[in-house]
Amino acid sequence: MYTAAVLDHFKNPRNAGDLPNATAEVEVSNPVCGDILRLSVRVESDRITAARFKTRGCVTAIACSSYLTEALLGKSPGEASTITPQQISDALGGLPPATMHGSQLACDALTAILAKL
Protein backbone atom coordinates (compact mmCIF):
# COMPACT_ATOMS: atom_id res chain seq x y z
CA MET A 1 0.00 0.00 0.00
CA TYR A 2 2.85 2.43 0.78
CA THR A 3 5.49 3.46 -1.73
CA ALA A 4 9.18 2.96 -1.03
CA ALA A 5 9.55 6.73 -0.57
CA VAL A 6 6.77 6.86 2.05
CA LEU A 7 8.29 3.93 3.95
CA ASP A 8 11.76 5.48 3.78
CA HIS A 9 10.57 8.81 5.25
CA PHE A 10 8.55 6.92 7.89
CA LYS A 11 11.37 4.60 8.95
CA ASN A 12 14.12 7.23 8.59
CA PRO A 13 12.42 10.57 9.25
CA ARG A 14 14.42 13.62 8.28
CA ASN A 15 14.61 16.63 10.58
CA ALA A 16 12.55 15.11 13.41
CA GLY A 17 12.69 16.81 16.79
CA ASP A 18 12.80 20.25 18.32
CA LEU A 19 14.38 23.32 16.76
CA PRO A 20 16.15 25.59 19.24
CA ASN A 21 15.84 29.30 18.42
CA ALA A 22 13.06 28.73 15.89
CA THR A 23 11.72 31.79 14.13
CA ALA A 24 8.23 30.29 14.23
CA GLU A 25 6.50 27.16 15.49
CA VAL A 26 2.95 25.90 14.94
CA GLU A 27 0.87 22.87 15.82
CA VAL A 28 -1.97 21.65 13.63
CA SER A 29 -4.21 18.64 13.86
CA ASN A 30 -6.66 16.64 11.84
CA PRO A 31 -9.77 16.29 14.02
CA VAL A 32 -11.07 13.38 11.94
CA CYS A 33 -8.11 11.01 12.40
CA GLY A 34 -6.35 12.66 15.35
CA ASP A 35 -2.97 13.24 13.66
CA ILE A 36 -0.97 16.12 15.17
CA LEU A 37 1.97 17.91 13.54
CA ARG A 38 4.24 20.45 15.20
CA LEU A 39 6.39 22.30 12.67
CA SER A 40 9.25 24.67 13.51
CA VAL A 41 11.35 26.73 11.12
CA ARG A 42 14.26 29.12 11.33
CA VAL A 43 14.45 31.93 8.77
CA GLU A 44 17.62 33.89 8.07
CA SER A 45 18.01 36.45 5.28
CA ASP A 46 14.54 35.56 3.94
CA ARG A 47 15.44 31.87 3.53
CA ILE A 48 14.32 28.87 5.56
CA THR A 49 17.61 27.60 6.96
CA ALA A 50 16.22 24.89 9.25
CA ALA A 51 12.97 22.99 9.68
CA ARG A 52 12.01 20.36 12.26
CA PHE A 53 8.85 18.43 12.97
CA LYS A 54 7.21 16.24 15.56
CA THR A 55 4.23 14.25 14.35
CA ARG A 56 1.95 11.92 16.22
CA GLY A 57 -0.03 10.08 13.63
CA CYS A 58 -0.13 7.53 10.86
CA VAL A 59 2.66 6.40 8.54
CA THR A 60 1.65 8.87 5.85
CA ALA A 61 1.42 11.85 8.22
CA ILE A 62 4.94 11.18 9.48
CA ALA A 63 6.33 10.65 5.98
CA CYS A 64 4.72 13.83 4.65
CA SER A 65 6.02 15.84 7.60
CA SER A 66 9.52 14.51 7.02
CA TYR A 67 9.36 15.29 3.31
CA LEU A 68 8.03 18.80 3.97
CA THR A 69 10.99 19.72 6.16
CA GLU A 70 13.37 18.73 3.36
CA ALA A 71 11.35 20.61 0.75
CA LEU A 72 11.41 23.83 2.81
CA LEU A 73 15.17 24.11 3.20
CA GLY A 74 16.65 26.98 1.23
CA LYS A 75 13.30 28.37 0.11
CA SER A 76 11.96 31.84 0.78
CA PRO A 77 8.56 31.97 2.48
CA GLY A 78 7.07 32.96 -0.88
CA GLU A 79 8.60 29.97 -2.61
CA ALA A 80 7.47 27.68 0.21
CA SER A 81 3.90 28.92 -0.16
CA THR A 82 3.64 27.20 -3.54
CA ILE A 83 3.96 23.68 -2.05
CA THR A 84 0.68 21.77 -2.41
CA PRO A 85 -0.66 18.52 -0.99
CA GLN A 86 -0.52 17.03 -4.49
CA GLN A 87 3.16 17.97 -4.88
CA ILE A 88 3.96 16.23 -1.59
CA SER A 89 2.00 13.17 -2.71
CA ASP A 90 3.77 13.10 -6.07
CA ALA A 91 7.19 13.47 -4.43
CA LEU A 92 6.43 10.46 -2.25
CA GLY A 93 5.41 8.32 -5.21
CA GLY A 94 1.69 9.01 -5.08
CA LEU A 95 -0.51 8.66 -2.02
CA PRO A 96 -3.75 6.67 -2.23
CA PRO A 97 -6.84 8.85 -1.70
CA ALA A 98 -7.39 7.33 1.75
CA THR A 99 -4.01 8.65 2.92
CA MET A 100 -3.96 12.09 1.26
CA HIS A 101 -4.87 13.57 4.65
CA GLY A 102 -1.17 13.26 5.54
CA SER A 103 -0.11 15.67 2.80
CA GLN A 104 -3.01 17.98 3.64
CA LEU A 105 -1.90 18.07 7.29
CA ALA A 106 1.63 19.01 6.20
CA CYS A 107 0.27 21.84 4.04
CA ASP A 108 -2.01 23.02 6.85
CA ALA A 109 1.11 23.34 9.04
CA LEU A 110 2.93 25.12 6.23
CA THR A 111 0.10 27.64 5.80
CA ALA A 112 0.00 28.25 9.55
CA ILE A 113 3.74 28.77 9.87
CA LEU A 114 3.94 31.08 6.86
CA ALA A 115 1.25 33.23 8.47
CA LYS A 116 3.62 33.72 11.43
CA LEU A 117 6.63 34.77 9.35
Please name every residue paired with 24 in a beta bridge, in sequence order, or none if there are none.
41
Which DSSP category does 16 fall into?
B
d(CA 22, CA 6): 27
d(CA 38, CA 44): 20
Nearest CA to 53 among 34, 70, 38, 75?
38
List, for residues 34-50, the tens digit of each pLDDT value. Answer: 999 999 999 999 999 99
d(CA 38, CA 111): 13
pLDDT of residue 1 exceeding 90, the answer is: no
List, for residues 62-96, the tens digit of each pLDDT value. Answer: 999 999 999 999 999 999 999 999 999 999 999 99
Nearest CA to 48 among 56, 37, 40?
40
Q: What pLDDT does residue 16 have?
A: 98
Per-domain boundaries in the chain: 4-116
Pick the CATH number of 4-116 from 3.40.190.10, 3.10.20.30, 3.90.1010.10, 3.20.20.120: 3.90.1010.10
Q: Please state, for a pLDDT cut of 70, what percent of the chain lies above it.
A: 100
Amino acid at 115: A
pTM, entire model:
0.97
